[in-house]
Amino acid sequence: MNTYKQPVSVLVVIHTADLDILLLERQAHPGYWQSVTGSQEGEESLIETARREVLEETGIDTIKYALTDWKTTVRYEIYPEWRHRYAPGVSVNTEHWFSLKLPERLPVLLAPQEHRDFLWLPWPEAAAKVFSWSNRDAIRALAVSLPPQLTRT
């Protein structure tokens, strides 16, 4: 039995108060930098998906910090090279945006099967480096409009 990914995912922009952004480099695609992303599994809520993905991909426990659901979604075409992960005929994903505010740059424990490297960059450099337009737009939105709930300390 083949288990397909759900075409519902989260994007979690991890940042400091100074808007340094954590980026991860994909293991299978050197040069593809991104924020934490991942598909919803089973019946978990979107916030549970965000918490799980951050912990799996960075080792950071979101319970200790301000994880915010932006209540923002974007739909995009799944890259052809990744469509085999989804049920036949599925070509569009719905991505839900979150952010995680940290007090400072924290150490990162990568999931080696998913990511090969990480770096912290000021937001303009991070927005320019990510391969995904939705990731770029989320970083810019964080920097430009900083929703009121994200200003918590």
Any domain includes 43: yes
pTM for this prediction:
0.91
> What is the number of other CB atoms lying within 10 angstroms of the CB of residue 122?
13
Max intra-chain CA distance, the chain: 47
The answer to whether 137 touches 99, Cβ cutoff 8 Å, is no
Any domain includes 1: no
CA distances from 34 to 5, 90, 116, 151 (A): 19, 23, 12, 23
- DSSP strand pairing (33-34 vs 8-16): unpaired
- Structural domain including 112 reads 8-151
The string of pLDDT tens digits covering residues 39-57 is 999 999 999 999 999 999 9
pLDDT of residue 87: 95
76: closest CA among 34, 132, 12, 4? Answer: 132
Question: Mean of the pLDDT values across residues 67-95?
Answer: 94
pLDDT at 2 over 70: no
Q: By mean pLDDT, which of 11-15, 34-38, 81-85, 96-100 is the weakest?
A: 81-85
Domain tally, the chain: 1
Which CATH number belongs to the domain containing residue 57 in this structure?
Answer: 3.90.79.10
